[in-house]
Structure 1
Amino acid sequence: MAGTSAEKPNIRQVAQLAGVSHMTVSRVMNDYPHIKEATRNRVLDVIEELGYRPNQAARALATQRNRRIGVLVESAVSFGPMSTLRSVEFAARTAGYAVNSIGLHDGDEVTPQEAIAHLTAQGIDALCVVAPRSSSLATIRKIQIGVPVLVVKPDKDPAFLTISVDQQQGTVLAVDHLVSLGHRDILHLAGPLDWLDARARERAFHARAKEWGIRERPIVVGDWSADFAYDYAKGLRELPEFTAVFAANDDMAVGLVHGLHDRGFSVPDDISVIGFDDISLAAHVLPPLTTVHQNFHSLGVSAVDMLRAAIEEREIPHVTRIPTDLVVRSSTAAPREERR
């Protein structure tokens, strides 16, 4: 069928119609820097007009890259890790990269070493580690991976590229909101402190509480689950002295509200509750939950941009913290006058 209208367009046809070399077309498709914007747009217009799609096998041979990103996810069923994985998959697919992912779960026999070996055997060009625990990250440090590695974690790390939602900023927004309402005795319901995000929120909470001069109350360490928070609230013998709770994620915040209700306490009249994540149900529980919104879409796009730059040996973007937003709903209010 060669020469007929059924023949697929090729890179040389794109180059001829765009009036450039086939090397320029290749550079445009690989986001090579220093291409004039007018040239880049002209090539992209021709690619769109012809419906040109590159031969991925040939591209891999030519560039020694497979355009494949591996993602290792800790507890992929949880909202934050799953949302991050989905955002990375979307951003990678948009950029012409495939994603191979594997999850680590409590009770699984798969170790970080085995998971990384599984991914590297599939020819990944880079590795993204999502929501790591300090224990798993310590193991990953000992492995010679051989490709660029980005870890989604709150603090910079000399061994890896890093990026995260700004946990400190989000925590400050939560504490400042409660203080602005008049709360001076706030409980922090933390996530498991082996999780780097949970530890970052716990540290930021104590630092901000100290800056405000509010009561230093021991934290309660949860397990991210609504069941834990529900059981904690149901176990309260009487109305506690604290007037507000900052929960480290929305699941625990929702479970806490449920437990307080079943215990006979009112949210926010007796106790204000604020969460972290802004899950889809946060706006629909009763009362609707005040929370900190994490922009997982921006996180995924920035993570993939950094990994592509590392793979393609370009300058790495400097975006390492994604801003958060406070979403105020009905689960927080000023404390009653007699409890101030």
Structure 2
Amino acid sequence: MSNTRRLDATGRERTPSMADVAAHAAVSAQTVSRVLSGHPNVQPATRARVLASVDVLGYRMNSAARALSSGRTRTIGVVVLPTIDYSGSAVTHGVESAARRAGYAVNISTASSPDPAAIAAAMTRLEQQSVEGIVLVVPVPTGTDAVEAIARRIPTVTIDGSRTDSSEVVAIDQFEVGRLATEHLLELGHPTVWHVAGPDEWLDSTGRTAGWRSALDAAGRDAPPLLHGDWSPESGYQAGLLLGRIPEATAVFVASDEMAFGVIRALHELGRRVPEDLSVVGVDDIALAAYCSPALTTVAQPFGEIAALAVEHLLRRIDDPTAAPTSTDVAAQLVVRASTARYSGAAAEAGESAPR
């Protein structure tokens, strides 16, 4: 062990260098660089000797040296919006995990707002950090000239966002999410389904609303007035206070689990029973959904699968930038729990008992 120790001028042990590896393996520093960068023109025996010296000395190439020797930073960027909702955090975590398994580091850049100019600015910051590709975790319209220009220079994949000519999209069909939720409630016999939507600028929200309307139209039912939230439990709570005072409201599709928690809390406070008086369906199937009271029926989104597919698409684009962009849709799944039940008609017939 003592013959592998390297000391600096003060006598302290120092980190081994590439030159140390070259001396130990009896090769040139250029050969070591070629081995570590995966260059094909190295004899197998020489490669094995260099790698053995790397192990013996405990040599680790830093990221700057790796980028210089290979032209690759092994880093991808992720653009996120300034939100603390579960879905955004879950997807970002999934991207980081998938990238790490593939040997990539992740730099995160937060756009100051959902505005396309802010998203382009966040992408520019990542470009300046020499990332090899970018994942946009931004389910809002992004098809501007500025975003398009960056996507032409750097391989880009969008999760649940709008597709540009140069980027790829990995997404859940949000129209199908809205349709699944609404049809479930209609199949339980409810005369119609109310909807608490997310913000209009989010593609997730508009897609779910379109699916809700389509399911009602297909069943020949009138769509009640649309309610809006901002993805927060508080906004769901405020919507629930309105719904709880509408006697004819017996079923509601809420555009996120977190808003659904707020809706259910408001209904409890108003004395409206879930699901006996009003059935509730959410979206996401976050971990807390099964532990809500009652357990929440929801449309599950497989965040880990979405993130892994996005990284897979991105690495393929990095390896072959000339490949034509492709997109992948991931299926959503209805998870039925205790917050929905068959329509009994009791609430509509006893409207005078509802809180006002």
Name the TM-score class by shorter chain.
0.7 to 0.9
1:335 matched to 2:347? The reply is no
Please name the residue that 1:38 is paired with: none
1:311 pairs with 2:318: yes
Aligned residue in 2 for 1:26: 38
Report the Cα distance in structure 2 between the residues aligned to 1:221 and 1:277, rounded to whole angstroms: 17
**Structure 2 residue 115 is the aligned partner of structure 1 residue 88:** no
SS at match of 2:175: helix
Uncovered stretches (5+) of structure 2, i.e. residues with no partner: 7-15, 26-33, 41-47, 350-356
1:183 corresponds to:
190
Q: Is the 8 A contact 1:306 1:316 kept in 2?
A: no
Deviates more, 1:252-261 or 1:205-214: 205-214
Name the amino acid aligned to 1:326: L
Alignment-derived partner of residue 16 in structure 1: none
The equivalent residue for 1:141 is: 147
Q: Whole-Å Cα distance in 1 between the matches of residues 320 and 298 of structure 2?
A: 39
Query: In the alignment, which of 164, 172, 181 is matched to residue 171 of structure 2?
Result: 164
Change (3 A) 1:124 1:243: same
1:322 to 323, 330, 337: 330
CA deviation after TM superposition for structure 1 residue 319, in Å: 5.7
Q: TM-score, normalised by structure 1?
A: 0.79
Of 174, 177, 199, 1:192 maps to 199
- In structure 2, what is the Cα distance between the partners aligned to 1:4 and 1:250? 57
* Partners of 2:307 and 2:2 in 1: CA distance: 42
Cα distance in structure 1, aligned partners of 2:244 and 2:331: 39
The AA in structure 2 aligned to 1:329 is R
For 2:114 and 2:106, locate their aligned partners in 1 and report how far apart those are by CA, in whole Å: 25
> Are the equivalent residues in 2 in contact too, given 1:131–1:196 (CA < 8 A)?
no
C-alpha displacement at 1:280, in angstroms? Answer: 1.3
Scaled by the length of structure 2, the TM-score of the pair is 0.76
| Mapped contact 1:73–1:132 kept (Cα < 8 A) | no
Q: 1:40 matched to which residue of 2?
A: none
What amino acid sits opposite 2:38 in the alignment?
S
- C-alpha change, 1:155 and 1:213, in structure 2 (3 Å) is farther
Answer whether contact 2:78 2:134 (CA < 8 A) is retained: yes
Q: The residue matched to 2:299 in structure 1 has which SS?
A: strand
The answer as to whether partners of 1:154 and 1:165 remain within 8 angstroms in 2 is no
Over 3 Å counting, the alpha-carbon distance change for 1:171 and 1:8 in structure 2 is farther
Supply the distance in 2 between the matched residues of 1:316 and 1:304 (Cα, whole angstroms): 16
Query: CA RMSD for the aligned pairs?
Result: 3.7
Q: Distance in 1 between matches of 2:305 and 2:79?
A: 19
Cα separation, partners in 2 of 1:274 and 1:237, compared to 1, 3 Å: closer
Cα distance in structure 1, aligned partners of 2:5 and 2:82? 50
| C-alpha distance in structure 2 between counterparts of 1:305 and 1:100, whole Å | 17
Shift in alpha-carbon separation, 1:329–1:270, aligned structure 2, 3 A:
same
Paired amino acid for 1:141: V
Question: For each residue in 1:193-239, what CA deviation from the matched residue of structure 2 results, as whole angstroms up to 9, or x when unmatched?
Answer: 10111111111221222222222223112111111121222245734
Residue type of the partner of 2:81? E
Number of equivalent positions: 314
The verdict on how the C-alpha distance between 1:83 and 1:105 changes in structure 2, with shifts beyond 3 A counting, is farther
SS of the counterpart of 1:102? strand
Larger Cα-atom Rg: 2
Give the equivalent residue in structure 1 for 2:284: 277
* Separation (CA, whole Å) in 2 of partners of 1:298 and 1:202: 24
The aligned counterpart of 2:270 is: 263
What residue is the counterpart of 2:212 in the other structure? Answer: 205
The separation in 2 between residues aligned to 1:148 and 1:210, in whole angstroms, is: 40
Offset at residue 181 of structure 1 (A):
1.0
Structure 1 counterpart of 2:252, from 236, 245, 260: 245
